[in-house]
Structures are given as structure tokens and as C-alpha cells.
Structure 1
Amino acid sequence: MATDVRDVEVKLDDNVLAALPEGGKVVSVRPSGMSDYCNTYRIQVKLPGGGSKVFFQKEAAGEEGRELMEAAFTSESTTYEFIPEHVPRPITMGTYKSRPDTHFFLADFIDMVEDDIPDPDAYMTAVAALHNRSMGNCPTGQFGFPVNTRFGDLEQDNSWTGTWEEYWTRQMKDFLDKEDAAHGGELHEELERLRPLFFEKVLPRYLGPLESEGRSVTPCLIHADLWPGNVKYMNDGENVCIYDACAMWGHNEVDLGVFRNPRYPLGKAYLKEYWKHVPISEPEEDADSRNSLYMLRNQILLSVLYPHDTKLREMQVFVSSMRLLVDRVQDEEAAQSNPQQSPHL
């Protein structure tokens, strides 16, 4: 057990100290980064043999806080299992001895370069390593995760499911329900028109072929929140650190949706780099549409998290993406029923 030698009135909780190096002395605790959903700290410990080590801690209160810490620990632990060179080592999660309603997650602290977005090679080498190493290693062989994880503080239903189309359809229905609730049930006429077409036409069209005519989707571990805020260069300026996963076992291409989102300065160069390491799922000709489909998840959840940012919905950021997919499928259907008619572009 470590000891807290700081000259402060409120010291680290005993259960946190028990998880730190035996005989270590806590010499510094200060806020680390920004989070809307929990408190974060950087803990410096002087080691008994000389030198020091730094740790990262999250804390949150109540049952929601416990679930948030469990989601973080399980996501980071599973991701670390496959790419330990890119993920801060998770140590433990637990509950404060002094405050039984407060819960924590503890990991190694990694110094990172805050301002630079890693280039496509560094960024996608780490992502591809996660997918390639975990492919086919899901403990159940199904789609889901042992716990419900969090995008921000939004719960993601990860109930184990046998087919990818069923899993993703359930998630999209849940996400759109959350988006409605975040906006107070305010009717969005265009979204209401598109929603049934999206579920009746778009999802079967682009997910069904992945699991038909002898094809199948092999679950791999996906991070599910690979925006640039969660992928940084380590201090060497060459290797990247990936953190804050809301992990699930799913179709690897889900992780590529964020790279299409115009909200982030990423784009085609990152996708091209990824495909150097991982083959495109069949049917390959649907890859671009699947990428748009998976981008929708990120756009919808951002609209849930930030309902007062009107451009995320009212300027139809995700509604326009949904319309593009619906139009694409309807044009394809029209072309098949009337081969003489050129599809709308």
C-alpha cells in the first residue's frame, strides 16, 4: 500500500492507495484533462527504490458512476490485451472506502503530444493492429460485449447477438430513440420521413449482404470512438496512444465511420492507409456506403450529447447522411425495375 505524504486535509482514499505501488509515497495529485462526465487526476508516486511513476485516475459517484467506471475498465483492459503498446495499462477499478457511493478507475499515465493529430500511417497502424490481432478471438463468437459501454456518458446496449445485422439494427434504433429524447421529442419532419426507410431499406441492403451467399462477419474488437481527441502521439512523436474506448465486438469497419465525419480533419488518406493492412469486407462495392452508414452512429450520438448545438441536427448533419443512403438505395431499386432509366446522381 502506498501512503499519501502531501500536506493536504483530504488525502487519497485507502482503496486507491492500496492499488498504487507498495511502499510508494504520493507526492502530487492534480486534475488531468477535461471530462464532462467524471473527475480525472494525475497522481505522481515516489517509488521506494528511487524514481517515480505517474498514474491516471477517474472517479464518479452513484450507480451511474459505478457503471461508467466498469465500462472504462473493461473496455481499456480488453483493448490493452491486444495492443498493449498503444493503450495505457489499466490497473483496477473499485469503490472508495471513505465514500461508498464514489467509484474509481486507475491506469498508468502516458505523456502525450496534445496538439498534433497523428499522421495516417501512425494512426491506422494502431487501429489495424487492434482489428487484426482480435479478429476471431471473441470469447463468445457473437457481437456485443460483457458490459454496456459508454459513448461519453451514453449507455450502449451490448447484449450478445448472433448476427451483425440484428445487432446493428438494435443499436441504431436505440441511438435514434436517445436522439429524440435529447431533443424533447421535438418533431423533425425530414427525419420522420427517412427513419422507416432507413430501417426497412438501408440497413438490410448494406448489412444483409455481409452475411449472405456464403459470406460472414467475424467479430473483432473495435474501439468505437476513434476521434482525434482519443488518439495522440506519445512523447516520442512516432507511436500513438489510444484510450477512452467504448469497446464492442463487431464489424471492424465500424471504427472507420469516424474518419468520414466532416467534423474531424481526417478523411480518405486515413481510410486508404487502413486498407493497406486489412482487407475490405465483401461485397467490396458496398464499402463506401457502409462507411457512410457507420459514420451515422458518430453523428447521431454527438447530436444526443450536444442537443443545444443546433447544427448537429437542425442543419441536418446526420439527417443529410441518412437521406443520402436512402436516396442511394431507392435509386438502385428504380434502376433495377427500369434498366433503361439512369440512376439519380
Structure 2
Amino acid sequence: MATDVRNVNEHLKLDENLLAVLPEGGEVVSVKPSGMSDYCNTFRIEVRLPDGSTQVFFEKEGSGEQGPGLVESAFTSESAAYEFIPEHVPRPVALGTYKSRPDRHFFLAEFVEMIEDDIPRPESYMAAVAALHSRSMGKSPTGQFGFPVNTRFGDLPQDNTWTTSWEEYWTRQMRDFLDREDAAHNGEPHEELERLRTLLFEKVLPRYLRPLESDGRSVTPCLIHADLWPGNVKYMADGETVCMFDACAMWGHNEVDLGVFRNPRYPLGKPYLKEYWKHVPISEPEEDVDSRNSLYMLRGQILLSVLYPYDLKLREIFVNNMRLLVERVEEEEAAQRNAPQVHL
């Protein structure tokens, strides 16, 4: 167990259960807030070791009803990613509950110094993403799509119940996300959204997901980070190696992680997608990849509309993109109806 030797009031010292998972014989010499989070408190903890060296840790603290799920999501997601790309993920250390405050829970990891302002170049960014996907491909613990726990996007639980079909898994998640989006807006009527929602499930999802698992094709689950916006991917202090964190992991179709790179909200775009395809082959049917990319982009846009319902622009953004997908499918259907019939 470590000791908190800071000159602070006793009630400000670190909890006994947290000290128990810090290095044996270490002395806590500094605890500072670390970054910003809308849902958890985060801290940088510096520990002086018996040999005089120091080690720094990152703590994420969750409290209240959501607290246990938030820290469990962080620990389980980061542990899974660390298994496959330890050079790109801070080493998870512990998950626990305060002894002095049973309503407070913590996730502890090694602290990694990062460069805050720079968005990594496509080559660095996508090398880490491709490594996660390639090394984990086919290693789902059940061989199915899902995850051992329900992870969190922000503070929103994600239903990760194990499922054998990718289309079934993704359809279930999209129904859940759209239900939450509707609830976040107090069921406020939106006729266009309701029209498009029906067509999304009747036409769009079957059109672009079912071919992945038809005619002898299949989707091999790999580990997905599922929140790869630039705030969660930074250069380490060396300015070369990328650090990925704050995953809300699941075992799924690797292309899900590419949806964020299409989102105009982030300064990423085609150079990052092109770099990824240098490392990982496009799923068949290849001609559908652009439409699948648009479809997977919807996930993040819908969830942002759930988290920030007061910003109605977020709702209109995903509604417009849903409309484009519906129109694309309907244009395909019209072209097939009007195609010349060949009689043998």
C-alpha cells in the first residue's frame, strides 16, 4: 500500500482502497485534476517510489447511479484494447470502490504524457487503428458480436449483448439509440425523422448490412474502439507514437470505427480513410463501402443528439444524412425497376 504524505486535511487524502492499488511503499506527493470530463472527475496522481523515482497515474472517478457503469466501462474497454495494442493504450491498473465513500468508484491507469493541440497525421493515427483491428480480428471471446459489459458513450449505456448476426446486432443498437434520441427530446414530434426511421430499418440496414453476411460472405468480429474522435487520439510526448483512450469498446465490424472520419464535425476525412485501407482490406461487397461508411457515421451523430438535445442542429445533421441514405437506396431500387429485362 502507498501512503498519502501530502500536507492536506485528512478528508482530502486519497482513499484507503485507492492507496492499496498504488505501488507498495510509495508516497503520494501530488494529486491534480487531469483534463475535462462531463461525466467523471479525473486526476493525475504522482507517487514517489522507495528508490526515489516517481510514477504517475491517471484516475477516473464515477459517483452516483451511473458511477459503477462508467468506471467498469473504462476499465474493461481499456483492458481489452491494451491486450492488443499496449504501445498505444495507457496500461490499466485497477478498478475499485472507495472504502470511505461506497458511492464513489474508480478506474486507475498509468498516466501518459500527451501533446494536446496536435491531431496526429493520418499515417500515425490509422496505424494504431489498423493495428487494433488486425491483431484482434477473429479473437472475440465468444466468436460473436458484443462485449462482456455494457460500455458507455459519454454516460449513455450501450447494449452489448452477444449476438451471432452483425445485421441483428447493429439493428438492435440503432433502434435503441433512436429511442433514446426521441426520449431526450421529450418525444417532440418530428415527422421527417419518423418517416426516415421506418425506411432506415425497412430498407437501408438490410441493403447495406445483409450483403456482408450473404452469398458465402461473413463478418469476422474484431475489437472496436467506437469513439475515435480527435479528442481521444493524441500524440505521446515523443510526437510520433499515438495514444488512444476513452474507448467504449465492442466486438464488431471493423468499418464501424471509420464512421467518425467521415463526420464533417471533425477535421479528418478522406486522407485518414485512404491510409487505413493501406493496412486493412475493404469488406465485400467493396462497392458498398462508401454507403456503409455513411451508415456507421450515423451512430456517433445520433448519440451526440442524445447527449446534447438542446442543440437542435445536431438532430438535423443526422436526419439529413439519414435522408441521403434512404434516397440512395430508393434510387438503386428505381434503377433496378427501369433496367431492361433480359429474356433467355
> Shift of residue 67 of structure 1?
1.1
> Shift of residue 62 of structure 1?
2.7
The answer to whether the aligner puts 1:58 opposite 2:60 as a matched pair is: yes
TM (norm. structure 2) is 0.97
The answer to whether the aligner puts 1:274 opposite 2:276 as a matched pair is: yes
The answer to whether the aligner puts 1:322 opposite 2:315 as a matched pair is: no
What is the rounded CA distance, in whole Å, between the counterparts of 1:155 and 1:262 in structure 2? 25
Amino acid at match of 1:215: R
Which consecutive unaligned segments of at least 5 residues does structure 2 have? none
1:163-200 deviation line (CA, Å, top 9, x unaligned): 00000000000000010011111111210111100000
1:306-343 deviation line (CA, Å, top 9, x unaligned): 11112111xx2001110010000001001101126xxx
1:135-180 deviation line (CA, Å, top 9, x unaligned): 0011100000000000000000000001000000000000000100
The answer to whether the aligner puts 1:7 opposite 2:7 as a matched pair is: yes
What is the rounded CA distance, in whole Å, between the counterparts of 1:42 and 1:103 in structure 2? 16
Which SS does the other structure have where 2:61 is aligned?
A: strand
Task: Determine which of 174, 177, 201 is the counterpart of 2:176.
Answer: 174
Which SS does the other structure have where 2:300 is aligned?
A: helix
What is the rounded CA distance, in whole Å, between the counterparts of 1:194 and 1:70 in structure 2? 35
Task: Determine which of 129, 132, 157 is the counterpart of 1:155.
Answer: 157
Which residue number in structure 2 is paired with residue 96 of structure 1?
A: 98
Which residue number in structure 2 is paired with residue 260 of structure 1?
A: 262
Which SS does the other structure have where 2:66 is aligned?
A: helix
What is the rounded CA distance, in whole Å, between the counterparts of 2:153 and 2:143 in structure 1? 23
What is the rounded CA distance, in whole Å, between the counterparts of 1:118 and 1:78 in structure 2? 23
1:38-70 deviation line (CA, Å, top 9, x unaligned): 100000001111210100001111342011111
Which residue number in structure 1 is paired with residue 84 of structure 2?
A: 82
> Shift of residue 264 of structure 1?
0.2
What is the rounded CA distance, in whole Å, between the counterparts of 1:195 and 1:24 in structure 2? 56
Amino acid at match of 1:178: R
The answer to whether the aligner puts 1:192 opposite 2:178 as a matched pair is: no
The answer to whether the aligner puts 1:68 opposite 2:70 as a matched pair is: yes
What is the rounded CA distance, in whole Å, between the counterparts of 1:143 and 1:187 in structure 2? 33
Large movers: runs of 4+ above 2 Å: none
Which residue number in structure 2 is paired with residue 16 of structure 1?
A: 18
Aligned residues: 338
1:8-66 deviation line (CA, Å, top 9, x unaligned): 11200011001000000000001000001010000000111121010000111134201
Amino acid at match of 2:260: V
RMSD of aligned residue pairs (Cα, Å): 0.7
Which residue number in structure 2 is paired with residue 127 of structure 1?
A: 129
> Shift of residue 201 of structure 1?
0.2
Which SS does the other structure have where 1:138 is aligned?
A: coil
What is the rounded CA distance, in whole Å, between the counterparts of 1:191 and 1:83 in structure 2? 39
Which residue number in structure 1 is paired with residue 334 of structure 2?
A: 334
Amino acid at match of 1:28: S
List aligned pairs for 1:231-242, cutoff 5 A.
Answer: 231-242=233-244
> Shift of residue 101 of structure 1?
1.1
The answer to whether the aligner puts 1:43 opposite 2:45 as a matched pair is: yes
Which SS does the other structure have where 1:19 is aligned?
A: coil
Amino acid at match of 1:290: R
Which residue number in structure 2 is paired with residue 138 of structure 1?
A: 140
What is the rounded CA distance, in whole Å, between the counterparts of 1:80 and 1:117 in structure 2? 21
Which residue number in structure 1 is paired with residue 209 of structure 2?
A: 207
Identity of aligned residues (%): 79
What is the rounded CA distance, in whole Å, between the counterparts of 1:211 and 1:137 in structure 2? 18
List aligned pairs for 1:281-292, cutoff 5 A.
Answer: 281-292=283-294
Which consecutive unaligned segments of at least 5 residues does structure 1 have? 341-345
Which SS does the other structure have where 1:60 is aligned?
A: strand
